[in-house]
Chains A and B, each alone.
Chain A
Amino acid sequence: MARRITTTRRITVTAGGWLAGFIIFFPILWMVLTSFKTELDAFSTPPQFLFFHWTTENYAIVQHRSDYIHHAMNSIILAVGSTVLGLAVGIPAAWAMAFAPTKRTRSTLLWMLSTKMMPPVGVLVPIYLIFRDTGLLDTHGGLIFVEFMANLPIIVWMLYTYFKEIPKDILEAARMDGATVGKELVYVLTPMAIPGIASTVLLNIILAWNEAFWTLNLTTVKAAPLTVFIASYSSPEGLFWAKLSAASTLAIAPIMVLGWFSQKQLVRGLTFGAVK
């Protein structure tokens, strides 16, 4: 079943893959290294790669100064909450557009995307006033709703694309066997769509995780996620690169773990062809 893979080819692609990965990852690696330097070493010339005075004092300072767990929990609540809502509303819509398309499907899709065309800063005041009057400022509910709405078009679009990839004959075969739409959705479509759903989930969690405009402007304390945590280390008067690197490393750590698990889902998608 498996393709014959020659050793030379494996070596070449492995070398190429690692080289590309390393180049792309390098700025982050540099940031992580910087987080273990003193502020003075952070910008020393020539730059220091590994043989500098390793220190964890930046992490100690961050730990002492801010409540990382509180912000990380809020980030998780926002990202998961908005993604779950997005999937709940987006999967049916994407299914409908992919498998029961009408004349208007394409324009509906484009219209959905157009709801994201307004630069957020242009509607800050209207949204802020609505939030003030409904008591939603600095609440999880309000922010989950904003992120949910901001990401819903992306969720529908991505799922729609992946659903479209699923060969129609499989669905028709299932229908011939008398499967209802519900069964079709649960037993046929969903398993086939796992890689697509996994990457949709991953991307939306990242988008919600890093969304820095609404989270900064609509929260103060209670619902403040990691973007606010980062903003308290960015650009003070004084040297901050090592501390900001430490804070930022802490902020991306949870999502790296998530990235690891979801890329495994992507690999599973690869072997799925065999089941078919």
Chain B
Amino acid sequence: MRIVIGALLGAASILAIGQAAAATKLTIATVNNGDMVRMQSLTDDFKAKNPDIDLEWVTLEENTLRQKVTTDIATKAGQFDVLTIGTYEVPIWAKKGWLVPLDNLGADYDVNDLLPAIRAGLSLDGKLYAAPFYGESSMVMYRTDLFDKAGLKMPEQPTWDFIADAAKKITDKDNGVYGICLRGKAGWGENMAFLTAMSNSFGARWFDEKWVPQFDQPEWKNTLNFYVNLMKEAGPPGAASNGFNENLALFNSGKCGMWIDATVAASFVTNPKDSKVADKVGFALAPNNGLGKNANWLWAWSLAVPAGSKKVDAAEKFIAWATGKGYLDLVAAKEGWANVPPGTRASLYANPEYQKAAPFAKMTLDSINSADPNHPTVKPVPYTGVQFVAIPEFQGLGTAVGQQFSAALAGSSTVDAALAAAQAIATREMTKAGYIK
């Protein structure tokens, strides 16, 4: 009896080992954005090329995903083998040694093809710590029909004054058309992403070289005043709780004359299935004030491998597949060039077929190229990151400041009061975290 059981156990364990050798299972944590969902549906191609690797997907809404992935990596729980993280996390986590440097992506990966701005945002000391899956900046999307009607012509590089002037001219509140839609909902990745990028073009900065908050400086006052006045005159009602998606819905249903937001929105607003104004959209660079910095940001959703993972080889194979040139061709072949994940590779923008399918290609590329995460502001700063400050405290701090700024927009607080509150909050948090001695 005992011998039989022993034999069975032995057989079972051999089977188990056999299976383990046959398939390494990668658990991939990713965001529920369209491009990642598409990647998930193209898994079969990867499986065909790598029969020994199984993929298991955890697809979640951005904030939930960020919480889970951060908790997991910080406690070394090891539930994920591939992480989808943004340009905010990569430099912080790489510095802590939480990510595996990706120096084994294969001979045909062509790391030099990655757009320099994006690559810089994902590297530390010259080493790439995450591979960009798609990249984005921000730009102006505007309604060509409304501009024609008002006799306006959008320059390729508008100034803020032009934007404000055009927004007021286009606004026709009786017919439900608002000159400009901008983010207003409080949050470090919501209104603060937009306002931080905007403040860069006004010459403002979050901190000076000694980490002293700068909300008491005139540049911030100009930024916020301009924003609040513009939105009061030409923005939609409810702007203080509008985020990316609310504005997208407004723009697509024809309520906005202009919208300054993520470049990936270009493919949504020009898609006739989702947009009433698909054939009436033009693009321009994010505005500036002639100070040398545009109001555009830089973000890349990227794939990384947590340090301590036992499946680094398989994970790198997957990353090389998902962010390589072959993947772009695969998506193009299956779903058309317009659906290729944008903003990561120079070769994509050199491809005439892509240029034809994506009218927003050039503007996206120019926007990304004009962002510099290592020198985001007019005056010198001790941090990196364009629409964020790449320090661990920024999520909380940015959200608290964002609440104040949304109050200024809602009219329940004044610009001066909001800035004073922001200065107090930032000073307090930075003191608590030990930046200000």
A interface residue numbers (CB < 8 A to B): 38-40, 43-45, 64-66, 124-125, 128-129, 132, 137-138, 216-217, 220-221, 224, 228, 231-241
Main secondary structure of the interface of B (DSSP, over half): mixed
B60 x A238 contact (CB < 8 A): no
* Known contacts A65-B40, A221-B58, A239-B268; A45/B253 CB under 8 A: yes
Contacts of B27 in A (CB 8 A): 220-221
Contacts of A43 in B (CB 8 A): 249, 253
15 A-B pairs besides A232-B61, A240-B245 with CB distance below 8 A are A40-B253, A43-B253, A64-B41, A65-B37, A65-B41, A128-B75, A216-B60, A220-B79, A220-B80, A231-B32, A235-B62, A236-B31, A237-B264, A238-B248, A239-B268
Return the CB mask of B45-68 against A: 1 if under 8 Å, else 0. 000000000001111111110011
Number of cross-chain contacts by CB at 8 Å: 93
B87 to chain A, nearest CB (A): 15
* Known contacts A128-B77, A216-B68, A231-B64; A236/B33 CB under 8 A: yes
A239 x B77 contact (CB < 8 A): no
Contacts of B31 in A (CB 8 A): 236
State which of B32, B75, B262, B268 has its C-beta within 8 Å of the C-beta of A132: B75
Contacts of A65 in B (CB 8 A): 37, 40-41
Contacts of A216 in B (CB 8 A): 60, 64, 68
Comparing B206-214, B269-277, B316-324, B390-398, the segment that makes contact with chain A is B269-277
Is B237 on the interface with A (CB-CB < 8 A)? no
Q: Which of A132, A237, A241: most chain B Cβ within 10 A? A: A237
Return the CB mask of B311-338 against A: 1 if under 8 Å, else 0. 0000000000000000000000000000
Return the CB mask of B255-281 against A: 1 if under 8 Å, else 0. 000000010110010000111100000
B interface residue numbers (CB < 8 A to A): 27, 29, 31-34, 37, 40-41, 56-64, 67-68, 71, 75, 77, 79-80, 176, 244-245, 248-249, 252-253, 262, 264-265, 268, 273-276
B71 x A124 contact (CB < 8 A): yes
* Known contacts A221-B58, A239-B268; A137/B79 CB under 8 A: yes
Contacts of A236 in B (CB 8 A): 31-34, 37, 61-62
B268 x A238 contact (CB < 8 A): yes
Contacts of B245 in A (CB 8 A): 235, 237-240
* Known contacts A45-B253, A128-B77, A220-B80; A237/B33 CB under 8 A: yes
B134 to chain A, nearest CB (A): 10
A239 x B249 contact (CB < 8 A): yes
- CA–CA, A238 and B136, complex, Å: 14
B297 to chain A, nearest CB (A): 14
Contacts of A45 in B (CB 8 A): 176, 253
- CA–CA, A48 and B27, complex, Å: 42
B385 to chain A, nearest CB (A): 19
- CA–CA, A129 and B268, complex, Å: 41
* Known contacts A237-B262, A239-B248; A217/B33 CB under 8 A: no
Contacts of B253 in A (CB 8 A): 40, 43-45
Contacts of B32 in A (CB 8 A): 231-234, 236
- CA–CA, A109 and B30, complex, Å: 43
Contacts of B61 in A (CB 8 A): 231-236
Contacts of B63 in A (CB 8 A): 235
